[in-house]
Structure 1
Amino acid sequence: MSSRHLSQSTDRYPTRLDTQIDPIAREEPTVWGSAANGPLAAADLDSMASNGYMVRRDAVEAAWLPALTAELDRVAATADPWDPRIIREPGGSIRSVFQPHLFSDLISEVVTLDTVLPVARQLLGSDVYLHQARINMMPGFTGTGFYWHSDFETWHAEDGMPEMRAVSCSIALTQNFPYNGSLMVMPGSHRVFYPCVGATPRDNHASSLVKQEIGVPSHATLTAAADRHGIDQVTGPAGTALWFDCNIMHGSGSNITPYPRSNIFLVFNSVENRLLAPYRAETPRPEYLAARTSQPFSATALTT
């Protein structure tokens, strides 16, 4: 079922509730395409369907990495301090930059690499567009983490994403060690939706991008999920791509080491899963957080 067949009254994944309700079994597949539809082999697709994530080494070749690292430094150095797309830590350092493909032609090229865009199309079984893009910067000593959450919970509640038909690609631009804030995932948790308690405040994104407190499961829910699914920590060299389903439970700790961690974070949504009105928020989040006007990709270029 695609979003064209769903209405605002069709909410199969209620959340932001007054009281806790039981987890909800996922209805949609995780992988929508087949081995004939792209570069991933059947074993890769089976692993993604089972675990909700997969790691692809050398998604960005080593020759690209110095230029991309310099580009991140340039974007950070030239960022308008009043631009709402620039999210800062409480101490002032840059935490995230949204829509980096509009700041940088080089980052825009990464989106359309053969190791990126065709994979997104294959996993989602359709043409795709960028629901969200950002660069995440976790500097040494001061970088703070991201609390446990399902992205779909936010995208459903605050953006109006009707179905679980989106996938994220996090491309490491620095070494991801077990100790510098690398991402943790609960494998298999994507098959269950965990409703959360608490209404969405007005303009929740203004604070949630720094510290998310609404739309996160309770400690008891997270404990039960971890006991059921376990926790994997994703590490690897620069150039590695982590693909993960929109509903997988994930998070990261703070970085108190000297070693920074930065990545390009791309969210691909199926063109058959267009956003509706938010299910649990008064107004949609800004376009730079949840694209409503973006078009599918052409064969050679990014269009927005």
Structure 2
Amino acid sequence: MPQTIERDEVERIDRYPTRTGARTAHIERPDPTVWGAIESAELTTFDRDGFAVVEDLLSPDEVALFSAEISRLAADPALAEDDRLIVEKASRRVRSIFEVHKLSGAVADLVRESRVAGLARQVLGSDVYLHQTRINYMPGFRGRGFYWHSDFETWHAEDGMPSPRAVSLSIALTDNHPVNGSLMVMPGSHRTFVPCQGSTPAEHYRESLQEQEIGVPTTDDIGSLASRHGIVQFTGRAGSALLFDSNLMHGSSNNITPFPRSNIFLVFNSVENTLEEPFAAPGRRPTYIGSRDFTPV
């Protein structure tokens, strides 16, 4: 049920309450999935499934260019102590680098192209801005996966995103095999919001970016959604991309194969859905995680 939040004497309605003390019922999403007009053939099933695969978004030459860029950034000594660089908890290998569009001119140019930002504008029905950008690295043998979660649950609770009017574009820079930790999604799960339990500690992002334990659904929640929707896996060659709704339940397993996996991850939010104060956290996360520059791309 929606709840009223009082903060600084201003009341606002929270239609997606989460981080509760006790387990609460799932919320059937009142917001649409597609706000605009779908023009690209690849996106025709987006409303139904909550995701779409775009084959060959990047050419082989572009894959080589961006692969060299992400290798350069991972090895850059200037970033070694930068908060935007996240390492694996155990191996201390690079896991993610945030604000990559500010660290790489090539990525900055890419996000503005119609084949990229244009996909988000079709779904969201408005101008869009970059809520978050990052590179994800999953090395071979010891790459750690991401547990089942809805991105919107975190962005709502910890960043203050009002509604799930945002999409993510994951662009593969390596081949995604069924065995090397490729992303798993539950088609149709984007229509159900799953509230999570537990309160959000201060500066929770410092732990959650390495391994998230608060803001994840229970095993019963995951089992219920999987029984209802099933699970499919995003596989394909380097250069392909997955566009998915911010509330889609997704996750990935560890990579114990010799085959590394890496991707450019871009989050587009509608300019009509800009961030407020967090709905279930004591303070804002840093802007390199949840941008408060709402300038359209």
Q: TM over 0.5: same fold?
A: yes
Q: Which residue of 2 aligns with 1:4?
A: none
SS at structure 1 position matched to 2:147: strand
Residue 47 (str. 1) matches residue 50 (str. 2): no
Q: Which amino acid aligns with 1:28?
A: D
Deviates more, 1:286-295 or 1:170-179: 286-295
Q: Is residue 215 from structure 1 mapped to residue 218 from structure 2 by the alignment?
A: no
Query: Does structure 2 conserve the Cα–Cα contact (< 8 Å) formed by 1:186 and 1:230?
Result: yes
Q: Structure 2 length as normaliser, TM-score? A: 0.94
Aligned-residue RMSD, C-alpha: 1.1
User: Shift of residue 114 of structure 1?
Assistant: 2.8
Q: Deviations over 1:51-105 (max 9, x none)?
A: 0011000111112111111111111111422100000012211000001111110
1:228 is matched by which residue type in structure 2? R
Residue 87 of structure 2 corresponds to residue 88 of structure 1 = yes
What is the match of residue 300 of structure 1?
A: none
Which residue of the other structure, out of 61, 67, 71, is the alignment partner of 1:73?
71
Counterpart CA distance in 1 for 2:24 and 2:102 is 41
Instruction: After superposition, give the CA deviation of every residue in 1:252-297 in whole Å (9 maximum; x if it has no partner).
Output: 0010000000000000000000100000001010000000124112
Equivalent position of 2:55 in the other structure? 57
Choose 109-118 or 248-257, whichever is displaced more. Answer: 109-118
Paired letter, 1:81: A
Please state whether the residue corresponding to 1:116 is helix, strand or coil. Answer: helix
Query: What is the CA–CA distance in structure 1 between the aligned matches of 2:294 and 2:35, rounded to whole Å?
Result: 21
CA distance in 2, matches of 1:59, 1:29: 26
Q: Partners in 2 of 1:8 and 1:94 — Cα distance? A: 41
Q: What runs of 5+ residues in structure 1 fail to find an aligned partner?
A: 1-6, 298-304
Distance 2:127 2:138 in 1: 32
Q: How does 1:73-222 map to 2 (within 5 A)?
A: 73-79=71-77, 80-90=79-89, 91-222=91-222
Total equivalences in the alignment: 286
1:240-259 paired onto structure 2 within 5 Å: 240-259=240-259
2:237 matched to 1:237?
yes
Residues 274 and 294, structure 2, Cα contact 8 Å, conserved in 1: no
Classify 1:212/1:179 alpha carbon distance in 2 versus 1 (closer, same or farther; 3 Å). same
| 1:169 and 1:242 in contact (8 A); partners too | yes
Q: Give the whole-Å Cα distance in 2 for the aligned partners of 1:170 and 1:196.
A: 25
Number of the residue aligned with 1:9:
12
Stretches of 4+ moved more than 2 A in 1? none
Instruction: Give the distance between the partners of 1:225 and 1:147, measured in 2 at CA.
Output: 15
**Separation (CA, whole Å) in 1 of partners of 2:43 and 2:258:** 36
User: Could you list the per-position Cα deviations for residues 141-195 of structure 1 after superposition, in whole angstroms to 9, with x for gaps in the alignment?
Assistant: 1110000000000000000000110000000000000000000001000000000
1:106 alignment partner, SS class: helix
- Unmatched 5+ stretches in structure 2: 1-9
Q: Which residue of 1 aligns with 2:6?
A: none
One-letter amino acid of the counterpart of residue 83, structure 1: D
1:3 aligns with none
User: Out of 22, 27, 39, which is 2:30 matched to?
Assistant: 27
Residues 27 and 192 of structure 2 are in contact (CA less than 8 Å); yes or no, is this contact kept in structure 1? yes
> In percent, how many aligned pairs have the same letter?
54
1:59 partner amino acid: L
The answer to whether the 8 A contact 1:147-1:251 is kept is: yes
**Cα distance change on mapping 1:45 and 1:57 into 2, 3 Å:** closer
Partner Cα separation in structure 2 for residue 248 and residue 284 of structure 1: 23
Cα separation, partners in 2 of 1:8 and 1:272, compared to 1, 3 Å: farther
| Letter matched to residue 123 of structure 1 | V
Aligned to 1:267, what secondary structure does the other structure show?
strand
Q: Is the 8 A contact 1:8 1:277 kept in 2?
A: no
Q: TM (normalized to structure 1)?
A: 0.92
